[in-house]
A and B are shown apart, each in its own frame.
Chain A
Amino acid sequence: MELRQFCSQSRVVIVAGKGGVGKTTVTAALALAATRAGLSVLICEIEGKSGLAAAFDSAALEYDEIELAPTLRARTIAPNDAMVDYLESHGMKRMSRRLANSGALDVVATAVPGMKDILVLGKIKSLEQEAIADLIIVDAPAAGHAITFLMAAQGLLDAVRVGPIRKQAAEVAELLHDPARCQVILVTLPEETPVNELIETAYEVEERAGVALGPVVINGCLADLGTAVADATKLGASQFGAPENASPEFGAPAFSGDDIDARVVANAHAAVAFQSERRTMQQAQLARLASSLPLPQIELPQLLSASIGRPELEALADALVQGIEAL
């Protein structure tokens, strides 16, 4: 699929996944990919403290938009701010700050589960209606919470029978249930537990929350080892001397001799064996994911660098674009 077409499928994309799978990284890479297609992008952080701003070398995000890159802006949408915003735009300006500061939101949010989520999603909906950017990417709460987040509108419609919040929930439900306006991209790692959780989440998002799913993004995929296995066997005859103490098995005792080259050979064997075992495991998980979930997969490579900055995000955006174009 063409990149611009992919990024224009719906104005709102919600990126979700369990903690530690690299949701924020995918959010940022997708945003960069969309800007390459000439689209303007707004990233909305729900939980804050994500490292997104740091990756762009920017100050921490706030409720007011900031520019991370040309045509790429970002902001947070915290429930308290969203409530103040909501009340102010509904003729309750005088009350709004006091209500937010009195702890009343905690009580009301407890009385009405999903209240906070509706305030946040309601804000996203109004940004969408204002067409504030060509693409709005939402860095969703961690999975589990993501389901609650997406189910909030329905739950609230059941619990609250009257009032403006009900109307708000109805409008949010309308947005979420329209694939031409909103879709969810799930992120995971090619490992057993994250894959299991992703499959569960996917069915819940689609069946219970009724939100359309885009492709699944899998982070941290190991590349094909290419000729590494064959090359490892050649090492014995090469400039590194015979690997008499090297065992190709992962977990084999280390060679402890003084011959540095022999040690390198032993470690090369071990490294290749380790990576190929990990890769085999990853491939099995990807295959299992494909057979349990009829969604296209986009693989992002594992990065070697210490921290995620602009160059790493650009590299991931490259891989993402490649994956999108192969869809």
Chain B
Amino acid sequence: MTSPTTSPTTSPTTSPTTSPTTSPTTSPAEYDANAFVLLVDAREIVVCCGTGGVGKTTTAAVIAIEAARRGRRAVVVTIDPARRLADALGLTELSDEPKQIDPQIWAVSDVSASSSASSSASGSGGTSRGSLSALMLDTKSTFDKLVTEHAPDPPAAQRILDNRFYRNVSGALGGTQEYMAMEKLYELHASGSFDIIVIDTPPSRHALDFLDAPERLMRLLDNRMFRLLMAPTKTYMKVASVALQALLRTVSRVVGREVVDDAIAFFQAFEGMEEGFRLRAAKVQTLIDDPATAFVLVTAPRRDAVDEAAYFAQRLATNGLAVAGLIVNRIHPPFGDADPAELRARAGGNAALLQLADMREIALRERTMLEGLTGKIPSDAVGYVPLLAHDVHDIATLTSVASHLFTP
């Protein structure tokens, strides 16, 4: 038998209700549910980041529901929820306005199916003051609203909204979705209608596209080539302009003149609004840096997900930001502490014992992988959610996920 003390992450699944064998060595330092309770009680913004397929959207929903149950006015902003989760949250379409969810759906007393729910609601709150809203981000209408707000007058706004280049930008193009998620975050925060905003980040190739979004959008709008094109007569730009005109001719030859004309028209219409956009981008940045904002990394015991989480943590650190929570989803239960090789040797052909040996091997592999992770990512709160036999798509299963994060 292996000694459980040799591995600091022997028992990621500490909930006694679901893990077949709970290691007696779990210490609060390894698994501090209070840290997550503190997070939902004290923070104003929670940004959930992670690579695809790790349960980011689910986690965002769980955090928002818990906050509402603890008496806060919570809103969850989702990007592309799986159909059944969207249904569970009562989200039927993209929208600009958060939609309040009937407390009957999420309040604990109604989730009698989940035995673990009661403990997670025993906190300070009570459900009377709390509320839960949800919003499925509509990138285009968020962008339209931003344009309308910053345009000097309605005709100028219309010129931009009608421009073909703008319509392409405001579609789901690189960085736009990320930026609009941020914009929506700012808007909801400024409205003062919510105590806590939980945001699910877009399924980017790299989670950190989200962090870079304001800067990337500004870079596009700032593009030197087009800035110069807008003012070709200013003498100090003359020299550069000649070279740029040549570049432009090349572009025109490849894609056609009208595409270039659209783009120029856009940048011209955009002039004057730029300052407003820049100011707003700066405010969004301030919000990201605010201590009331928490970054929660969501990952799974999978090589690519773990690597991505470590990379993202490093990026946050570079930006002077801390990881407030690390949540590892979809962990296999440990099934005791027996050594797989020993089990196989003793199995005598018994398929059940061989199965146990396989499960032990998977568990050990996952724990080895996660050991490195918690070392690399210093986080106030670390939570582990076991692999469930079924998809998480209703409030009862969301509640059971919550029990793993918020039950001490």
Q: Footprint of B on A, CB under 8 Å?
A: 18-21, 47, 51, 87, 90, 92, 95, 98-99, 102-104, 106-113, 115, 141-142, 144-145, 148, 159-166, 191-194, 196-197, 225-232, 234-235, 238-239, 250-256, 260, 263-264, 266-272, 274-275, 277-278, 281, 304-308
Partner of A20, one of B53, B220, B253, B353: B53
Q: Is B305 within 8 A of A268, CB to CB?
A: no
How far apart sit A266 and B83, CA to CA, in the bound complex (Å)?
37
Evaluate whether A268 and B352 lie within 8 angstroms (CB atoms) in the complex, with A113-B168, A281-B390 already known: yes
Q: Judging by beta carbons under 8 Å apart, are B226 and A266 in contact? A: no
Q: Quick check: which of B90-98, B99-107, B320-328, B362-370 contacts chain A, the rest being far away? A: B362-370
A231 close to B255 (CB less than 8 A): no
- Once the chains bind, are B251 and A104 in contact (CB under 8 Å)? yes
A contact residues around B358 at 8 Å (CB): 271, 304
Q: Which of A108, A144, A267, A281 contacts B356 (CB 8 A)?
A: A267
| Cα separation A197 to B17 with both chains bound (whole Å) | 32
Tell me the B residues contacting A by CB distance below 8 Å. Answer: 1, 16-22, 51-54, 80, 82-84, 165, 168-169, 171-174, 203, 205, 219-220, 223-226, 246-247, 250-251, 253-256, 258-260, 262-263, 300, 302-305, 333, 335-336, 338, 343, 346, 348, 350-356, 358-359, 361-362, 365, 368-369, 387, 389-391, 393
* B359 A274 Cβ-Cβ under 8 A: yes
Contact yes or no, B365 A305, CB < 8 A: yes
Report the minimum CB–CB distance from B58 to chain A (whole Å).
Answer: 10
Residues of A within 8 Å of B173, CB to CB, are 110, 113
Which residue of A is nearest B222, CB measured?
A103
Instruction: Jot down 23 A-B pairs with beta carbons below 8 A, ordered by A.
Output: A18-B52, A87-B250, A99-B250, A102-B247, A103-B219, A103-B224, A103-B225, A106-B223, A107-B226, A112-B259, A113-B173, A141-B205, A163-B256, A226-B351, A228-B352, A229-B352, A239-B348, A264-B338, A264-B356, A268-B352, A270-B335, A278-B387, A304-B358
Q: Which residue of B lies closest to A20 (CB)?
A: B53
Chain B residues, Cβ within 8 Å of A18:
52-53
**A157 CB, nearest partner CB in chain B, Å:** 12
Separation in Å of the A23 CB from the closest CB of chain B? Answer: 10
B270 to chain A: closest CB distance in Å?
12
B393's nearest neighbour on chain A, judged by CB, is: A192
CA distance A141 to B205 in the complex (A): 9
How far apart are A113's CB and chain B's nearest CB, in angstroms? 5
The reply to whether B21 and A104 form a contact with Cβ atoms under 8 Å apart is no
Asked whether, in the complex, the Cβ of B20 is within 8 Å of the Cβ of A196, the reply is no
Chain B hits for A263, CB < 8 A: 21, 336, 338
Q: What 11 additional pairs, Cβ within 8 angstroms, besides A267-B338, A272-B352?
A: A106-B219, A107-B226, A108-B259, A163-B255, A164-B254, A227-B351, A254-B20, A267-B21, A269-B352, A277-B389, A281-B390
Contact across chains for B52 and A20 when beta carbons are under 8 A apart: yes
Residue of B nearest to A21 (CB): B53
In the complex, which of the residues B52, B165, B174, B346 contacts A111, with contact meaning CB atoms closer than 8 Å? Answer: B165
**Which residue of chain A is the closest to B243 with respect to CB atoms?**
A98
What are the residues of chain B within 8 A of A142 when measuring CB–CB?
Answer: 52, 203, 205
What distance in Å separates the Cβ of B117 from its nearest Cβ neighbour in chain A? 15
Residues of B within 8 A of A148 (CB): 172
CA distance A91 to B223 in the complex (A): 26
A-B contact count (CB 8 A): 214
**Once the chains bind, are A95 and B247 in contact (CB under 8 Å)?**
yes
Give A41 to B358 CA distance when docked, in angstroms.
34
The residue that A264 contacts in the complex, of B83, B256, B336, B365, with Cβ under 8 A, is B336
- Which residue of chain A lies nearest to B216 when distances are taken between CB atoms in the complex? A106
CA distance A304 to B18 in the complex (A): 22
**In the assembly, what is the distance between CA of A86 and CA of B335, in Å?**
56
CB-CB under 8 A from A161, the residues of chain B are 256, 258
A278 to B386, CA, bound (A): 13
Q: Which residues of B contact A160 (CB under 8 A)?
A: 255-256, 259
Q: Which has the most chain A C-beta neighbours within 10 Å: B174, B246, B358?
A: B358
Smallest CB gap from A90: residue in B: B254
Most chain A CB atoms below 10 A, which of B169, B226, B352: B352
Q: Shortest CB–CB separation between residue A170 and chain B, in angstroms? A: 14
Is the CB–CB distance between B247 and A99 below 8 Å? yes
Nearest Cβ on chain B to A151's Cβ, whole angstroms: 12
Q: Are B369 and A306 in contact (CB under 8 A)?
A: yes
State whether B359 touches A271 (Cβ < 8 A).
yes
Which residues of B sit under 8 angstroms from A239, Cβ to Cβ? Answer: 346, 348
CA distance A165 to B247 in the complex (A): 16
- When chains A and B are docked, how far (Å) is the Cα of A92 from the Cα of B358? 59
- The smallest C-beta distance from B212 to any residue of chain A, in angstroms, reads 13
Residues of B within 8 A of A194 (CB): 53
Find the residue from B169, B251, B258, B387 having the highest chain A CB count within 10 A: B251
Expressed in whole angstroms, the Cα–Cα distance for A252 and B80 within the complex equals 35
Say whether B303 contacts A307, CB under 8 Å: yes
Residues of B within 8 A of A252 (CB): 20
Complex Cα distance A142/B308, Å?
Answer: 15
